[in-house]
Amino acid sequence: MSFRVRAVAGFSLLALLVAGCGGGATKTVPSGTPGEPTWAPWPSALHDARHSGASTSDGPQSGKFRWQRQLETSITPGPVIGADGTIYVASNTGIFHALDPATGNDRWTYDLGHAGGGDLSVSALVLPSGDILVPSAQQLVALSPAGVHLWTQDLPGVPTSPVTANGDRVYVGDMSGGVSAIDVTGGKSHRLVWTVQAGSGSYGSVVATGTGRLYTTADSGLVAVDDHGSTGKVAWRANPSDGITEVSAGLAADGTAILGTNGKREWAYHPDGTRAWDSPRTITYSSPSVTANGLVYVGDHAGFVHVFSVKDGTESATYGPVPTLIWSSTVVDRRSDVYFAGQNGHVYGVTAAGKRLFDVKVGGQVDSYPALTADGALIVGARNGILTSIS
């Protein structure tokens, strides 16, 4: 297998890189680090409320397994990580696990009472208080750091991944097309503030900055929703007519919202709803990671990870191909090393310049969105029910 890296538009590329080769090329990346600090190493599946997919920690440099843990059944939900390093993840049976990061052993488990399924990676949210919000059936379930049930909030449909920018107000979309705002100030109590209908159906999680504007994907487009405090209102809808949308959006630091579809292009929109740019790529089931230094990482069905500039959509780099569909989202570490997984059951690591770090087999198809710990371990769930820590 070979990794091809292409760089344009202000980026430099010095060589064609082949997996396993000893040499390495360098590539100029934008100034600034890809990730920004959060209250926990990886509090949500795509790291933060903007879905940056980027950490301030270094990722693994080899494919050595720290541990592997067999759960009850397939692991579609993405793992998340608490401030103390505890790894939180659910299996598709609805058993929610709190795992020791050093061993993978259970610290506690909680039975949500509802089994999940499918290939949509929906994960929990760790709040700054340490409490955990877990999507389940048509409910959002709040657990304490010790696994004690705190409260349950009913929702119009099956929830996608909840997000928060400030720890006080949480936004959560659901598969009926609804978007809800829930106040969790004080930790142990909560209040459903408002729910708006963004469309007739949705597979996407909400993205937000905490400034009152949030985005979700619904039907075949992107929907902007404004939070007016006690009410929410749809600001605009954009439909590029490029196939249905089965992934979450990404939100850049400058307010540009990124949309992936089952069509042939990646789309970007300004805050007023006008199209910023669109760039070609193959169908994607991989939610975009939008880093703090202005790059968009998208995996596709052709086995490539495309890297676009938020500013104008130029393709800054391309990693791949790998011999598989990429449904899992990408993870970017402090050095701009890139990590992703495929439907062939392999997990890949590659440097920013394209040199292969590792190609390891975890034994099952990977739909789950990975997480990165503070000490550089990549946590990946697979359909065979095995959770792997690569360190």
Distance CA 327, CA 331 (A): 13
Distance CA 151, CA 1 (A): 49
Closest-CA residue to 338 (of 312, 306, 384): 306
Cβ neighbors of 186 (< 8 A, separation 6 or more) are none
User: Which residue type, as a one-letter code, is found at position 298?
Assistant: V
Query: 100 near 107, Cβ under 8 Å?
Result: yes
pLDDT score of 22: 30
Distance CA 41, CA 61 (A): 18
Closest-CA residue to 234 (of 202, 266, 263): 202
pLDDT score of 116: 77
In a structure prediction context, what are the per-residue pLDDT tens digits for the chain, which is 391 residues long?
445 554 433 322 222 233 333 323 334 456 678 999 999 999 999 999 999 999 999 999 999 999 999 999 999 999 999 999 999 999 999 999 999 999 999 999 999 998 877 778 899 999 999 999 999 999 999 999 999 999 999 999 999 999 999 999 999 999 999 999 999 976 577 999 999 999 999 999 999 999 999 999 999 999 999 999 999 999 999 999 998 888 999 999 999 999 998 888 999 999 999 999 999 888 988 999 999 999 999 999 999 999 999 999 999 899 999 999 999 999 999 999 999 999 999 999 999 999 999 999 998 999 999 999 999 999 999 999 999 999 9
pLDDT score of 30: 61
Cβ neighbors of 148 (< 8 A, separation 6 or more) are none
pLDDT score of 281: 85
Cβ neighbors of 21 (< 8 A, separation 6 or more) are 355, 356
Supply 28's token pair: 């100029």
Nearest-10 Cα torsion for 262, 263, 268, 269: -90
Cβ neighbors of 185 (< 8 A, separation 6 or more) are 168
Distance CA 228, CA 87 (A): 34
